[in-house]
Amino acid sequence: MIINSRFFNRSELIGFVALGLVLFVILPLSLDVFRLNLVAKYLTYAFVAIGLVLCWGYGGILSLGQGVFFGLGGYCMAMFLKLEASSVENTKIQSTPGIPDFMDWNQITALPLFWQPFHSLTFTVLAIILVPGLFALIIGTAMFKRRVGGTYFAIITQAVAAILTILIVGQQGYTGGINGMTDLRTLKGWDIRPDHAKVVLYFFEVFLLFGCILIAQFIRLTKLGRILVAMREQEDRVRFSGYSVANFKIFAFCMAAIFAAIGGAMFALNVGFMSPSFVGIVPSIEMVIYTAVGGRTSIFGAVWGALLVNFAKTGLSESFPQLWLFGLGALFIAVVLAFPNGLSGIWADHVQSRIDRLVSSIKKKSGDWTSNSVADGAPAE
Amino acid sequence: MLIGHQPKPFLLAVEALTVSFDGFKAVNNLSFYVEENEIRVIIGPNGAGKTTVLDLICGKTKATSGSIQFRGKELTKLKENQIVQTGVGRKFQTPSVFEDLTVFENLEISYPRGRTAFGSLVFQRDDAVKQRIEEVAEMIFLKDRLDIYADQLSHGQKQWLEIGMLLIQDPELLMLDEPVAGMSVSERAKTAELLNRIIKDRSVLVIEHDMKFVEDIAHKVTVLHQGQILSEGTMEKVKNDPKVIEVYLGH
């Protein structure tokens, strides 16, 4: 409790507990497995959104290519699951048994070299973190050391997202092409498809999400977090205070990439497939929308943003299949114009301040009563 | 420079420094030397290249040719943050402080420890840090405002805060670009007092227009005109130089 009160201030602690209550108790109790699995899918984007809070909200680096890292993490996970699903026994009707079905359809007769290590779960877990991390390190170093920033950086990340999508679609035999990797079945022999597995995976994902929230909160509270804020405002002053601005940007960008990749890997597990439609420009921009709607400087806001926009998206697309994309665009424009700090800004400006006033007025009114009750309570201990 | 004079180890030696922006030479074949504990003031009309000289020394602008040696180290080849780490601090003309951070956090960021990405992750706000910040905050008249966000400060207070951020770095060469510009009369007096206190034990390079202030603090004055040195020496000598009177002081 003492550690908590230093780690979180009062309203953050309330936010943490409230989110925990909703994700661990309320949603699992009130939703059927199908809807809970949908929430699990939405939450995979919350990982990306938390990363964007660090990178964009704090560091001021707008990346419009987070789908790249989401996709890399997702594909690493999917490759492992696909290999396990493509045992010789399962694929005996293929002309080359033991390789993923899409390879067989594309006349590939042996498992490509870069697929081999994905037989190992340990390697896969490391790859989920390291592949996107290294990729972000390379892009970050190339851009930030040359002082490419702002809009130019955003455009380049868009281009990377487009390139990766084209690459995945074009290399059908190695990646599954436009259909992606489907028919993922088991994780180390444990079937991920039945209802009880979906529930277990949901809770595992929420645990990971809270892990990422704590890491993000930790980074925010260190001097590095404050340097990110300082950099967003006065890059030159940070530079002339003796810091290599590029290194801090690279760090923030890599962290955002790793968070996105964890989300992607959870997507492959929870949803049971991975395809290039979660990698390209449109999903990457949607991820920024979640963060903007939630409030780009709020870690909890990002999670709520990812959840609410996706609920809205599902609701809208179920009722107005032709119109929902316009609705999403309008939502983004409305939020940016009217509430630049997103949901968390609305909360802090309108709800929190009212609650504070209410609490203080109640405290004032019941001042005598509280002191009496404490006095009464004391001997009972 | 006297020929045959025993060469002293200069703290800062600028030699044949030239920078050209699309053919326009903002600084042209400029040479000057700053000794240890010397207070040097650079004056000159608008567009003389004063700020550009500071930009060149701190690495914000890259020189076209020439050399800048600080304690024998060539600064023109270093990056901005490396130049800071060798002991050169720079204050900008417009106050540049971090408005989304508190006064305390502003000063803490300038504290010279944990300057790498991972170093800043494990940086601890220990007693040495707190003590130094309080010490500097007292010096810059902001001791009771440590928890205030910097955007709440007045223009003059922001200038002091930026000076404080430099002090905490404890640079051997302090470069100030118009430290009293835009200040009220009382703030100006306080700033002069502050500067007089902090310029002890270090070399200072100041750009300033306020002649009374210059006379107060300068050991030596360099007058720049069109990117070149027009005159250099004590304030007394410079003031009576006919060339200086013609282009600058006479107006």
What the block records as the tokens of A40 is: 């699990």
Specify the residue for token string 């290249």.
B49
Please tell me the distance from the alpha carbon of residue B199 to that of residue B91, in angstroms, as a whole number: 14
A251 Cβ under 8 Å from any chain B Cβ: yes
Q: What letter does residue B122 receive in the DSSP assignment?
A: S
Contact A226 B108 (CB under 8 A): yes
Rounded mean pLDDT, B64-72 = 92
Q: How far is A304 from chain B (nearest CA, A)?
A: 24
Q: How far is A65 from chain B (nearest CA, A)?
A: 23
Residues in chain A predicted with pLDDT less than 70, given as ranges, are: 1-6, 366-381
Test mutation, A218, A223, A226, A234, chain B, max B CBs within 10 A: A223
Q: Are A238 and A231 in contact (CB under 8 A)?
A: yes
Percent of chain B with pLDDT over 90: 53
**Please, which residues bridge with residue B70 across strands?**
B12, B73
Exposure pattern of A157-180 as b/e (b: 16+ CB <10 Å)? bbebbbebbeebbeebbbbbbeeb
Rounded mean pLDDT, B128-156 = 93
- Which amino acid, one-letter code, is at A232? R
Contact B108 A219 (CB under 8 A): no
Contact A222 B121 (CB under 8 A): yes
- In this prediction, residue A381 carries a pLDDT of 33
Q: Which helix (H) or strand (E) holds A226?
A: helix A223-233
Please tell me the distance from the alpha carbon of residue A124 to that of residue B179, in angstroms, as a whole number: 57
More confident residue, A17 or B196: A17
B125 has a pLDDT exceeding 60: yes
Q: How far is B60 from chain A (nearest CA, A)?
A: 9
- In this prediction, residue B249 carries a pLDDT of 64
**Per-residue pLDDT tens over the stretch B104-115:** 999 999 998 889
B173-177 vs B88-91, strand pairing mode = parallel
- In this prediction, residue A377 carries a pLDDT of 38
Please tell me the distance from the alpha carbon of residue A61 to that of residue B158, in angstroms, as a whole number: 26
Give chain B's contact residues with A (Cβ, < 8 Å): 58, 60, 79-81, 84-85, 89-90, 92, 96-101, 105-106, 108-110, 112, 114-117, 120-123, 162, 165, 169
Residues of B in contact with A244 (CB under 8 A): 79, 81, 115-116
Q: How far is B79 from chain A (nearest CA, A)?
A: 9
- In this prediction, residue A174 carries a pLDDT of 93
- In this prediction, residue A338 carries a pLDDT of 86
Q: How far is A83 from chain B (nearest CA, A)?
A: 37
Q: Closest-CA residue in chain B for A218? A: B121
Q: Are B230 and B244 in contact (CB under 8 A)?
A: yes
Q: How many Cα atoms are found within 13 Å in the side-chain-facing hemisphere of A86? A: 25
- In this prediction, residue A64 carries a pLDDT of 95
The answer to ipTM > 0.95 is: no
Residue B112 has its nearest CB partner, among A226, A238, A242, at: A242
Q: How far is CA B94 from CA A233, A324, B46, B194, in A?
A: 14, 47, 16, 18
Q: Are B224 and B42 in contact (CB under 8 A)?
A: yes
Burial of B176 (0-12, 13-18, 19+ CB in 10 A): buried
Count CB neighbours of B76 within 10 A: 17
Name residues 189-248 of chain A within 8 A of B (Cβ): 219, 222-224, 226-227, 229-230, 232-234, 236-245, 247-248
Nearest to A74 by CA among A48, A94, A50, A102: A48
Please tell me the distance from the alpha carbon of residue B217 to that of residue B195, in angstroms, as a whole number: 9
